[in-house]
C-alpha cells in the first residue's frame, strides 16, 4: 500500500494527459477546435471581480461543476485536487495545513491559520467550517499569507466558499445519496423570483452515516455523522448598481461524539506510562515507533479496554445571519457586510485522550460579529484600488470536563479535570491595496493593513476542581493581552504575451498571539511570515490548455506550536499549551494545469514540491529539532484527474471521472519526548460515472472514493490518532425542475 511507485491508475492518467497534449497541439496547428476551450472563471479573491488567470496570486478555483463531477461533499476531499493543501480533522473539527503552515490549538482560545470564509464572512469556529459545503458556485483557495485583504489570522492562506445566489428564474432541484456505512444524504434547492426586485433561494442539506470505525470487543459508541443544514438567501436588485443580499443559515451538527484510535493500530514501540494510569500496552506515546501496516480493518478498530455506558452524543448547532449591501458612487463601488454567527456545543466524547480512558463533556456557546466596510474603484483608468475597515468581536464560553477511569473494572470516575473558560476576542483593522498600470502590459501592486487585536479571558477552574467553600482553584487565571501589526505587500505582474502573465511579490502575514488554559503556561506572542513568490499563468492552444506555476520562499518567525502532553503518568498533569517555539523556512514549487481534449474530455494535473523545515527549534535543553521537517508537510504531492463526457444520440450525456493523488511521507510529532510518527507515502484514487437526461431533468451517478482503502493519520492526541475515512461508495440521484 505504501510503495511510492505509480499505480496503474496514475500511469493511465499520465498517458491520457500526454496523448491529449499531442492531440490538442496538432489541432491547434490546423483548424483549431471551435468549442470555446476551457471556461474562464471569474473570482473575487482580491475583493474585486477578475478572471482567475489574470489574478497574480497562487490560488485554486473549484467550480460547482467540478464538485459535482468529483462528488465532493466533505471539505477534506478538497485536498485531493489542491497542491500543497492538507485538510484533516481532530475531534470533529477541521485542521487545514497550507504549505506546512497550520494551527493545532482547537480550543476556544485558538484561531485557525487558514482564514475560512462563506460569502466573504469569516467563520472563526472550527466546528462550523465543515457544514457549509452545499449549493456552492465555487470554492477559492488562496495559498500564502493574505495579510493585506484578509485580516483574521491568515498566515497559511484563505478558503472562500461562494454560494449560489438567487436568480430571476423559477427553478429547483432535489437529490439523494445512498452508500456504504449506511450513508444517507439529501439536498434540495428552490429558487423563486419575487416581483421585479426581489428573488429568494432556499437550500437544505443532510448528511448521515454510521461510524467508519470498528467498535472492538466492547462495542462502545463511536463517532458518526448526523448533520442537517439550511440556507435562505433573499436578494434585492434595486438598480443595476445597488443590491442587498440577506442570508440566514442554520446547521445542526449531530451524531455520536468523536473517537480516536490507539497508536498501536499503526505503530509498534515501547509504551510510555505505567498502571494504574494506563492499561497494559497503552501509553501517551510509543518510544521508537515503527510503522506496521495492519490493514484498514485493524487500523480503524477502537479497541479500548473499558466500556462506557453513558450516552455519547454530539448535539451542536451554528446559526448565521449575514447582510451585504452594494452600491456605486460614481466610479467607486461601496460594499458593507455584516455577519453574525452563534455556535452552541453540547457533546460527550469517549475513547483515550492523553493516553488514558476518558469521558469528555463539552458544553459551550460562542457569538461572533464582524463588520466590513469596503470601497473599490470601478473605472477603466490605470489605477485600480480597494480600501476598507474591519471589526470583529467574539465571545466564547466553554464548560468542559475530562473524567478518567483508572480503577478496575474502569467503572468509576477517579480524576476530573474541569474547565470553565470565558473568552473575548476583538480585532479591528484598516486596509488598502492599489494596482497601477505602468503601461498596457505591466502593473505594480502595493497593499497595507494595520491590525489591532485584543484577547481576554478568565477561568476559575482551569483543569482543577475548586475545594469548597472556595469557588476558584489554584490554577485559576485571568488574562488580557493586546497585539498590533502592520502587514504589507508589493508586487509586479507583466503580460509576456496576450495570454501569458508573469508575476512576483513580497508579502507578509500575521497571526495574533494569545494565552494558554493554565496560568503557569503563560502568554504567547504573534507569529509572522514573510513570503517571496514568483509565478506564471498562461492559456495555450486556443485556451485548451491552462497552466499556472509558482515558486515561493517563507521566512516563518515566532511560530506558534501547540503541544499536548503529560508532565507525569498522572492524568491530572496532562495539558495542552501553545508557545512561540520555533523559526522555520519553507521553500516550494507548485504547478496546476488543465487541458481540454476535444469537446468531451478534460485532463487535470497538480504537483507540489516542498522543503519545510525548522530553522531553530529546541523543545528542551537536550532535544534539537533544527533542520527537521515540519509536521504535515509532505515533500511531494501529485494529483491527476480525467473527466470525459459522452454525448448520446438522444441528447443525454454520460460523464466519467477518474482521479488519483500521491503523497510522500509526513510526520506527526511529540517534541517533548522526541517522538515522531511517520505516515508513509500513500496514494488515494476516486472514480465516478454519471448520467444526465437529454432534457436536463434528472441525473444519476455511481461513485467510489479511496479505492485503495488507504487509512492515513490526520492528527495526534497523546495515546491516539484521528484518521482519514476508509473506502466509501454509493449512488447519487437528482431531479431538476
Taking residues 372-376, what's their average pLDDT?
Answer: 96
Take residue 57 and report the three cell numbers written for it: 496570486
What pLDDT was estimated at residue 26?
A: 45
Interatomic CA distance for residues 583 and 75, integer angstroms:
30
pLDDT at residue 177 tops 60: yes
Q: How far apart are CA 395 and CA 412, in angstroms?
A: 35
Tell me the per-residue pLDDT of 424-458, one tens digit each, with 9 for 90 and over. 999 999 999 999 999 999 999 999 999 999 999 99
Which of the residue ranges 39-48, 114-123, 333-342, 681-690 would you say has the lowest mean pLDDT?
39-48
By mean pLDDT, which of 356-365, 422-431, 490-499 is the weakest? 356-365
Task: Note the pLDDT tens digit of each residue in 21-61.
Answer: 544 544 444 433 446 688 888 888 788 888 888 899 999 99
- pLDDT of 726 > 70? The answer is yes
Residue 3 lies in a domain: no
d(CA 45, CA 162): 11
- For the ranges 131-140, 515-524, 561-570, 572-581, the lowest mean pLDDT is seen at 561-570
Who's near 316: CB < 8 A, 6+ residues apart?
127, 252, 253, 254, 343, 344, 345, 346, 347
* pLDDT exceeds cutoff 90 at 554: yes
Higher pLDDT, 572 or 280: 572
Confidence tier at 570 by pLDDT (50, 70, 90): low
Give the closest residue to 711 by CA, choosing from 280, 402, 266, 275.
266
At a CB cut-off of 8 Å and minimum separation 6, what does 473 contact? 460, 461, 462, 463, 464, 465, 466, 467
Residue 378 DSSP label: -
What mean pLDDT is predicted for residues 647-672? 94
DSSP string, 110-152: ---SEEEEETTEE---GGGTTS--SSEEEEEEEES--TTT--S
Quote the percentage of the chain above a pLDDT of 90.
60
What is the distance between the alpha carbons of residues 508 and 497, in angstroms, rounded to a whole number? 29
Whether 9 contacts 17, CB under 8 Å: no
Q: Are 86 and 128 within 8 A, CB to CB?
A: no
Q: Provide the pLDDT for residue 147.
A: 84
Handedness of CA 116, 605, 66, 68 (dihedral sign): negative
Nearest to 606 by CA among 62, 101, 46, 35: 62
182: DSSP letter: T
Average pLDDT over all residues of the chain: 87
Across 62-76, 331-345, 627-641, least confident range: 62-76
CA gap 143, 263 in Å, rounded: 32
Instruction: Report the Cα–Cα distance between both ends of the chain, in Å, rounded.
Output: 45
Burial class (CB in 10 A: 0-12, 13-18, 19+), 26: exposed
In a domain, 565, yes or no: yes
Q: Is residue 546 part of a domain?
A: yes
Interatomic CA distance for residues 365 and 344, integer angstroms: 5
Between 20 and 301, name the one with better pLDDT: 301
Check: CB of residue 144 under 8 Å from CB of residue 550.
no
Say if 2 falls within a structural domain. no
367's enclosing H/E stretch is: strand 356-377
Report whether pLDDT(496) > 90: yes
Mean pLDDT of 718-727: 90
| HSE toward the beta carbon, residue 210, CA cutoff 13 A | 9
pLDDT digits (tens, 9 = 90+) for 121-157: 998 887 777 777 899 999 999 999 988 888 677 889 9
Tell me how far apart the alpha carbons of residues 195 and 680 are, in angstroms, rounded to a whole number: 59
Residue 684: its pLDDT value, please?
Answer: 96
* Percent of the chain at pLDDT exceeding 70: 88
Alpha carbons 32 and 36: distance in angstroms, whole number: 10
Q: Which domain holds residue 566?
A: 8-736
In the structure, what pLDDT confidence band is assigned to residue 325 with cuts at 50, 70 and 90?
very high
How many domains in the chain?
1
| Residue 641, domain member (yes or no) | yes
pLDDT given for residue 469 in this prediction: 84
Nearest to 266 by CA among 4, 89, 1, 568: 1
* pLDDT of 306 higher than 50: yes
Average pLDDT over residues 103-127: 84
Greatest Cα pair distance in the chain: 89
Domain-located, residue 323: yes
In whole angstroms, give the CA distance from residue 222 to residue 582.
36
Q: Is residue 17's pLDDT more than 70?
A: no
How do residues 201-253 score in pLDDT, each as one tens digit?
999 999 999 999 998 766 667 888 899 999 999 999 999 999 999 999 999 98
3-class state of residue 424 by DSSP: strand
Is residue 13 very low, low, confident or very high in pLDDT (cuts 50, 70, 90)? low
Q: What span, in angstroms and rounded, lies between the C-alpha atoms of 724 and 74?
A: 12
Residue 335 clears pLDDT 50, i.e. is over it? yes
CA distances from 241 to 238, 335, 386, 388 (A): 8, 11, 17, 19
Burial 449-460 (b: 16+ CB within 10 A, else e): bebebbbebbbb
If pLDDT is split at 50, 70 and 90, which confidence band does 308 have?
low
Q: How far apart are CA 709 and CA 697, in angstroms?
A: 34
Residue 491 has pLDDT above 70, yes or no: yes
Task: Specify the CATH number for the domain of residue 100.
Answer: 2.40.170.20
Domain membership flag for residue 17 = yes
- Asked if residue 4 has pLDDT above 50, the reply is no
pLDDT value of residue 108: 78
Q: How far apart are CA 85 and CA 650, in angstroms?
A: 41
Separation between Cα atoms, residue 663 and residue 404, nearest integer Å = 37
Q: What pLDDT does 371 receive?
A: 96
| H helices, E strands: number in the chain | 3, 41
696: alpha, beta or left? (left if phi > 0; alpha if psi -120 to 50): left
Specify the 3-state DSSP secondary structure of 171.
strand
Q: Give the E-state strand segments of 17-73 in sequence order.
A: 42-43, 50-51, 59-63
Give the residue with greater pLDDT, 45 vs 376.
Answer: 376
Cα-to-chain-centroid distance, residue 91: 14
CB contact set of 539 (below 8 Å; sequence gap of 6+):
37, 38, 53, 499, 500, 545, 546
Q: Is residue 255 part of a domain?
A: yes
622 is written with which cell numbers?
A: 537536550
* pLDDT of 719 strictly over 70: yes
Query: 521 pLDDT band (50/70/90 cuts)?
Result: confident
Q: d(Cα 353, Cα 330) in Å, to the nearest integer? A: 59
Q: What is the pLDDT of residue 66?
A: 83
CA–CA dist 102, 94 (Å, integer): 11
| Residue among 439, 546, 567, 555 nearest 500 (CA) | 546
Q: Can you give the pTM of this predicted structure?
A: 0.89
3-state secondary structure of 175: strand
Question: What string of DSSP letters covers 516-548?
Answer: -SSGGG-EEPPEEEEEEEEEEEEEETTTTEEEE
CA–CA separation, 729 vs 182, rounded Å?
A: 11
CA atoms of 582 and 580, how far apart (whole Å): 6
pLDDT of residue 565: 67
Amino acid at each position: 500500500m505504501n510503495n511510492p511507485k505509480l499505480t496503474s491508475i496514475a500511469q493511465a492518467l499520465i498517458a491520457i494527459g500526454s496523448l491529449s497534449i499531442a492531440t490538442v497541439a496538432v489541432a491547434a496547428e490546423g483548424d483549431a477546435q471551435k468549442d470555446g476551450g476551457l471556461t474562464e472563471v471569474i473570482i473575487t479573491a482580491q475583493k474585486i471581480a477578475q478572471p482567475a488567470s489574470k489574478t497574480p496570486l497562487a490560488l485554486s478555483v473549484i467550480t460547482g461543476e467540478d464538485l459535482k463531477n468529483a462528488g465532493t461533499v466533505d471539505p477534506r476531499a478538497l485536498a485531493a485536487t489542491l497542491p500543497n493543501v492538507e485538510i484533516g480533522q481532530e475531534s470533529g473539527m477541521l485542521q487545514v495545513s497550507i504549505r506546512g503552515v497550520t494551527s493545532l490549538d482547537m480550543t476556544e482560545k485558538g484561531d485557525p491559520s487558514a482564514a475560512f470564509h462563506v460569502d466573504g464572512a469569516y467563520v472563526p469556529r472550527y466546528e462550523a467550517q465543515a457544514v457549509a459545503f452545499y449549493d456552492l458556485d465555487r470554492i477559492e483557495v488562496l495559498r500564502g499569507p493574505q495579510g493585506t485583504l484578509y485580516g483574521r489570522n491568515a498566515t497559511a492562506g484563505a478558503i472562500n466558499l461562494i454560494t449560489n445566489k438567487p436568480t430571476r428564474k423559477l427553478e429547483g432541484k432535489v437529490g439523494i445519496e445512498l452508500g456504504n456505512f449506511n450513508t444517507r444524504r439529501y439536498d434540495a434547492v428552490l429558487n423563486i423570483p419575487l416581483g421585479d426586485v426581489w428573488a429568494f433561494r432556499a437550500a437544505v442539506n443532510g448528511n448521515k452515516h454510521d461510524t467508519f470505525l470498528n467498535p472492538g470487543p466492547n462495542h462502545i459508541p463511536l463517532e458518526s455523522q448526523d448533520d442537517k443544514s439550511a440556507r435562505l438567501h433573499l436578494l434585492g436588485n434595486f438598480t443595476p448598481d445597488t443590491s442587498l443580499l440577506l442570508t440566514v443559515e442554520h446547521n445542526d451538527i449531530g451524531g455520536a461524539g468523536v473517537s480516536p484510535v490507539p497508536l498501536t493500530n499503526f505503530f509498534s514501540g515501547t509504551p510510555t506510562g505505567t498502571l494504574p494510569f494506563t492499561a497494559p500496552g497503552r501509553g501517551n506515546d510509543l518510544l521508537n515507533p515503527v510503522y506496521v501496516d495492519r490493514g484498514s480493518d485493524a487500523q480503524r478498530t477502537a479497541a479500548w479496554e473499558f466500556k462506557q455506558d453513558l450516552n455519547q452524543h454530539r448535539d451542536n448547532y451554528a446559526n448565521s445571519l449575514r447582510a451585504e449591501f452594494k452600491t456605486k458612487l460614481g466610479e467607486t463601488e461601496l460594499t458593507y457586510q455584516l455577519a453574525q454567527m452563534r455556535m452552541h456545543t453540547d457533546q460527550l466524547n469517549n475513547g483515550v485522550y492523553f493516553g488514558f480512558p476518558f469521558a469528555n463533556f463539552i458544553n459551550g456557546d460562542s457569538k461572533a460579529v464582524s463588520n466590513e466596510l469596503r470601497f473599490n474603484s470601478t473605472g477603466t483608468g490605470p489605477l485600480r484600488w480597494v480600501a476598507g475597515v474591519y471589526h470583529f468581536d467574539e465571545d466564547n464560553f466553554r464548560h468542559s470536563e475530562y473524567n478518567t477511569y483508572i480503577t478496575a473494572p474502569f467503572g468509576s470516575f477517579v480524576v476530573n479535570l474541569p474547565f470553565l473558560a470565558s473568552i473575548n476576542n476583538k480585532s479591528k483593522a484598516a486596509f488598502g491595496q492599489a494596482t497601477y498600470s505602468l503601461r498596457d502590459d505591466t502593473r505594480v501592486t502595493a497593499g497595507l493593513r494595520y491590525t489591532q487585536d485584543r484577547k481576554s479571558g478568565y477561568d476559575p477552574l482551569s483543569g482543577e476542581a475548586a475545594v469548597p467553600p472556595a469557588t476558584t482553584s489554584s490554577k485559576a487565571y485571568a488574562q488580557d493581552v493586546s497585539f498590533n501589526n502592520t502587514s504589507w505587500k508589493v508586487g509586479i505582474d507583466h503580460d509576456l504575451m496576450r495570454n501569458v502573465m508573469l508575476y512576483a511579490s513580497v508579502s507578509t502575514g500575521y497571526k495574533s498571539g494569545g494565552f494558554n488554559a493554565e496560568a503557569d503556561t503563560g502568554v504567547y506572542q504573534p507569529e509572522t511570515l514573510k513570503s517571496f513568490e514568483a509565478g506564471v499563468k498562461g492559456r495555450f492552444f486556443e485556451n485548451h490548455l491552462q497552466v499556472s506555476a509558482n515558486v515561493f520562499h517563507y521566512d516563518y518567525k515566532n511560530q506558534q506550536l501547540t503541544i499536548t502532553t503529560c508532565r507525569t503518568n498522572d492524568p491530572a498533569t496532562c495539558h495542552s499549551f501553545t508557545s512561540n517555539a520555533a523559526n522555520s523556512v519553507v521553500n516550494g514549487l507548485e504547478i496546476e494545469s488543465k487541458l481540454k481534449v476535444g469537446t468531451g474530455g478534460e485532463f487535470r494535473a497538480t504537483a507540489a514540491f516542498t522543503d519545510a523545515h525548522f530553522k531553530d527549534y529546541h523543545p528542551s535543553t537536550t532535544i534539537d529539532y533544527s533542520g527537521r521537517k515540519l509536521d504535515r508537510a509532505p515533500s511531494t504531492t501529485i494529483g491527476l484527474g480525467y473527466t470525459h463526457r459522452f454525448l448520446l444520440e438522444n441528447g443525454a450525456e454520460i460523464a466519467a471521472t477518474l482521479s488519483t493523488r500521491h503523497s510522500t511521507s509526513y510526520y506527526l510529532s511529540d517534541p517533548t519526548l522526541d517522538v515522531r510518527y511517520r505516515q508513509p507515502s500513500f496514494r488515494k484514487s476516486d472514480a465516478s460515472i454519471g448520467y444526465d437526461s437529454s432534457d436536463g431533468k434528472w441525473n444519476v451517478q455511481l461513485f467510489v472514493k479511496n479505492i485503495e482503502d488507504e487509512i492515513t493519520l490526520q492528527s495526534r492526541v497523546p495515546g491516539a490518532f484521528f484518521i482519514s475515512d476508509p473506502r466509501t461508495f454509493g449512488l447519487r440521484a437528482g431531479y431538476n425542475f
